[in-house]
Amino acid sequence: MGLLEGKVAFITGAARGQGRSHALRLAEEGADIIAVDVCEQIDSVAYPMATPDDLRKTVKLVEERDRRIVAVQGDVRDHEALQEIVDRGMAELGGIDIVLPNAGILNIIGERGAGRQAWYDAVDVMLTGVYNAIEAAIPAMIAGGKGGSIVITSSTAGMRAITPTLETSRGGSLGYHAAKHGVLGLMKVYANCLAEHSIRVNTVHPTGVATPMVVNDEFGQWVAEHPEMMSGLAHPLPIQMVEPVDISNAIVWLCSEHARYITGISVPVDGGLSLR
């Protein structure tokens, strides 16, 4: 029996990258999945974002693990749409036990990543989107009376600044840092307020993860043009990046009975980067 047998997990940004990895690891541990992803391009993002085909692949991979999945294209910036997706997922799969607000963008590249719209997009997706996802699920989690676990994806940029110059700290970069710090505050408030319902709330803080968000030509070119960026990403452990499953494994633990009394904490999965 898996660590999460019989649970239902709601995951945003699930079409690929960390979100898909979380869906697969939780499925391997016995959870059914409600998956959402915008699956279309946001103008301030320079690299190609996930597509409907990516989300369909997530569905296939979860089903290959003999778990059920409800996957819907939707935007975390739209609370009403998320509420409809959560309601549909619960109607098909039962209640909801786990929420993973994971959807994220890295809109820091070029002119499109330097303007005001990039700031708004970053905050809307990675702060307001987290709030929307949690608010859509809370009533059902409380009504279920079984407690649950919420794990928000933050970043090492939610614990320290990782862009060292004014040129690399504009628009989307500022929005990214603000959002990733902001969800830490949300986590602490929710952890305090939901504790009476046995709903635990924590954050994970990855360093660079080997996903399409950073492993793409556009980001590679931007880093080549701004080598000073790497000075903020020097890990004590001899690594360049971590793998998505490294984050997923931490989340599985946080959502399991092994962490049943752990709430209100930040878990860095960063090769020691937060030490520097």
The tens place of each residue's pLDDT in the chain, 276 residues long, gives: 899 999 999 999 999 999 999 999 999 999 999 999 999 999 999 999 999 999 999 999 999 999 999 999 999 999 999 999 999 999 999 999 999 999 999 999 988 899 999 999 999 999 999 999 999 999 999 999 999 999 999 999 999 888 767 677 789 999 999 999 999 999 999 999 999 999 999 999 999 999 999 999 998 898 888 887 766 678 899 998 999 999 999 999 999 999 999 999 999 999 999 887
Query: What CA–CA distances, in Å, run from 250 to 25, 72, 188, 203, 266?
Result: 10, 25, 19, 10, 11
User: What own/partner pairs with CB < 8 Å and gap ≥ 24 does 61-67 have?
Assistant: 61/20, 61/23, 61/24, 62/23, 62/24, 62/27, 62/33, 62/35, 65/24, 65/27, 65/28, 67/27, 67/30, 67/31, 67/32, 67/33
Catalytic annotation present for 190: no
For 206, the enclosing helix (H) or strand (E) is strand 199-206
Catalytic residue among 47, 120, 131, 176: 176
- Strand, helix or coil at 269? strand
Q: Check: pTM over 0.75? Answer yes or no.
A: yes
CATH class of the domain comprising 8-260: alpha beta
